[in-house]
Amino acid sequence: MELYIPSGYDPVLTVRQTQEAIKYIRDTFQKEFGREMNLSRISAPLFVFKKSGLNDDLNGIERPVGFDLQEMAGERIEVVQSLAKWKRVALKKYGFDVHEGLYTNMNAIRRDEILDNLHSAYVDQWDWEKIITKKERTDEVLEETVRTIFKVIKHMEHEVWYKYPQAVCHLADDVYFITSQELEDLYPDLSVKDRENAIVRDRKCVFIKQIGWNLKRSGHPHDGRAPDYDDWNLNGDLLFWLPSLNRAVEISSMGIRVDENSIVEQCRERHCEGRLRLPYHQMIVNRELPYTIGGGIGQSRLCMLLLNKAHVGEVQASIWPEDMIRTCEKNHIPLL
């Protein structure tokens, strides 16, 4: 556990004012986001069958929360870690067309998360997915989509400033693009997080592309990525500078999804070819699912950013170690 306490922190808004601001941000953002991206709001599952292969493996080391049901003896059920795979199946099942998409509220439990200012055992995000053509599986389409998301977030800054001028965090005017290899080349002697902080401190908003492949100098990926949903050549993370914590904060992870070739290549790279026999993976290999682009946008992270909060526990109700709660109380960080 690593807890950062900013010197002289002032939450500005009361807890009740913060609650009002959270509702306003969430309600307003999802409407504007859905309209700008041509996405429809749909319902999503909290859990899936383990055998379906639909659960997200994240970095490949997190343990999903699982259980069984009295009426389904012998079946293992898992709380979703994200809906990256489920959404692509849903687009086909519900009859979406090219350039149409969906978004949903995704809630998850991350039992192995290291709890700190930015990380909670409870995850809440807007998961979204949109159908594209095979020809649109390009870097240009990826960057255009990132700019659209940035535009909506930037507009939210103005919306929050109008209602809460004393609390709003002023964001960058544009997003800067760089690949994970270019970032390592730029800061070869820094750790991954220090690289992120260095570039985002300078640019204020950065999209780091091509996450998943091993980097030349370190021999490791910039960050872990499951091999079976994002195409590692066409994905990335969107980060903003958060003044309250004096560090970069990831708001979204997204990408163009794997096709019938990249899913095989990436599963081989991670020595998990056995997954290719799962139902979801077979649908990709056999080209039974649409080509898509998608990702997740952290709801609590976005509220933190726009209100310049110092702890994710100020904008979501979760559980925290007792010593963290006491330290936050002592330093005027009101956890919900």
Whether 189 sits among the annotated catalytic residues: the reply is: no
- Exposure string for 80-89, b = 16+ CB within 10 A, e = fewer: bbbbbbbbbb
Whether 301 sits among the annotated catalytic residues: the reply is: no
Round to whole Å and give the CA distance between 159 and 31: 13
Instruction: Give all domains of the chain, ordered by start, each with its CATH number.
Output: 15-330 (3.30.930.10)
Sheet with 66-69, side-by-side order of all strands? 47-49, 72-79, 66-69
Q: Which of 26, 30, 78, 110 is catalytic?
A: 110
Q: Which of 125, 210, 252, 262 is catalytic?
A: 125
Whether 314 sits among the annotated catalytic residues: the reply is: no
Q: Which of 120, 253, 262, 266 is catalytic?
A: 253
Residue-by-residue pLDDT tens, the chain, 336 positions? 589 999 999 999 999 999 999 999 999 999 999 999 999 999 988 888 888 777 766 666 678 888 888 888 888 888 887 788 889 999 999 999 999 999 999 988 888 888 999 999 999 999 999 999 999 999 999 999 999 999 999 999 999 999 999 988 999 999 999 999 999 999 999 999 999 999 999 999 999 999 999 999 999 999 988 899 899 999 999 999 999 999 999 999 999 999 999 999 999 999 999 989 988 899 999 999 999 999 999 999 999 999 999 999 999 999 999 999 999 999 999 998
The pLDDT score that the predictor gives to residue 20 is 95
The pLDDT score that the predictor gives to residue 327 is 95
In this prediction the pTM is 0.92
Q: Which of 30, 56, 127, 247 is catalytic?
A: 56
Which amino acid, residue 57?
D
**In the beta sheet, which residues pair with residue 129?**
102, 294
Whether 159 sits among the annotated catalytic residues: the reply is: no
Q: Which of 196, 228, 231, 237 is catalytic?
A: 237
The pLDDT score that the predictor gives to residue 51 is 82
Q: Which of 32, 250, 260, 269 is catalytic?
A: 250
Asked if residues 91 and 59 have their Cβ atoms less than 8 Å apart, the reply is no
Whether 266 sits among the annotated catalytic residues: the reply is: no
Whether 56 sits among the annotated catalytic residues: the reply is: yes
